[in-house]
Structure 1
Amino acid sequence: MIQRFIELGEGYSDLYELLEIAKANQHRLQHFMAFHTNKEDRDVTSLAIVLSPTNPGDFQPLYICREGIPNPHTTPNKRFDLFAKTAKSQQKDIMELTVKPSSQFAEKELYFQHLIGILRMNRYIPPMK
């Protein structure tokens, strides 16, 4: 199985694309995720959705808007509210995790592999085959 993050942006206008992907793929939608972190002395959140793997192909996409939204627990904001409203309309809870910021990794791909490891360890996504 191939599990890969697909970055849409930082959560400004691309957040609407993330929500449309969730609505258009209701039959494959597994999780709504919020990754909280502190980056450059700012509390920020990455929002993501996890779809079930394709059949055939075993490709599992994880769409993400990376570290551009204020953490809703410290700074309430409309973008997170919209994400939460969409999750509720899909009868899904938002899985919230606190993670290291991407700036602590030499490459963005290493950061995404780190997140995939966390998601596998917590059994939000299946292990490698």
Structure 2
Amino acid sequence: MQKFITLGEGHGDLFELEALIGNNHGRISKGIFLHTAEGMSTFLLVMSPVRGNFQAIYTIYRGILYKDGAGKKYKMIDEWCRKHDIPVIEFSTRDPEDFHEREQFYQYITGVLRLNHLIPPLN
């Protein structure tokens, strides 16, 4: 079972993410940037499963400006992951604004991640 945990708003999300990466890099499976054609990007920090099949996925939801490889938050997060040898994956997805609720977007992303073998299948 995967659980999306949205980090804080504003700069608090960055401080929390930096602490998660620095203190838990051994438990982190990968980092994933989800880019959209027009909107802000989302970042997912995928943790390794614990206690059976529970897997936390920390998110910065639509909080990263990304334009042709540029953006201060984008560069900071990418640098933190690379510093700790955390694989970083990037791809384009539908805009979260296409969905009526955030939970619907997370369900869509869960399917995309499973189809691409980036998270384990449902048991």
Contact kept in structure 1, 2:31 and 2:88, CA below 8 Å: yes
Q: As a proportion of its length, which structure holds more strand?
A: 1
Report what 2:5 is aligned to. 6
Query: 1:91 is paired with a residue of what secondary structure?
Result: coil
Match of 2:43 in 1: 47
Query: Which 5+ residue runs of structure 2 have no aligned equivalent?
Result: none
1:92 matched to 2:86: yes
| Residue type of the alignment partner of 2:73 | R
Deviations along 1:36-56, whole A, 9 cap, x unmatched? 014xxx4421112000111x2
Structure 1 segments of 4 or more deviating over 2 A?
9-13
TM-score, normalised via structure 1 length: 0.86
Whole-Å separation in 2 of the counterparts to 1:37 and 1:53: 27
Identity %: 30
CA deviation profile, 1:13-56 (whole Å, cap 9, x unmatched): 31221121122112211001100014xxx4421112000111x2
AA in 1 matched with 2:80: T
Gaps of 5+ in 1: none
CA distance in 1, matches of 2:79, 2:10: 16
Root mean square deviation of aligned Cα: 1.7
- State the one-letter code of the partner of 1:78: K
Aligned length: 123
- Cα 1:10–1:69, aligned 2, differ >3 Å: closer, same or farther? farther
Distance 2:85 2:67 in 1: 20
What TM-score does the superposition give when structure 2 sets the normalisation length?
0.90
What residue is the counterpart of 1:30 in the other structure? 29
- Please say if residues 4 and 106 of structure 2, whose CA atoms lie closer than 8 Å, have aligned partners that are also in contact: yes
Aligned-partner SS, 1:115: helix
- Distance of aligned partners of 1:93 and 1:27 in 2 relative to their CA distance in 1, 3 Å threshold: closer
The structural deviation recorded for 1:80 is: 1.1
AA matched with 2:32 = M
Given that 2:49 and 2:55 are in contact with CA atoms closer than 8 Å, whether structure 1 keeps it comes out as yes
2:58 equivalent in structure 1: 63
Bigger helix fraction: 2
Residue among 100, 110, 117 paired with 1:106: 100
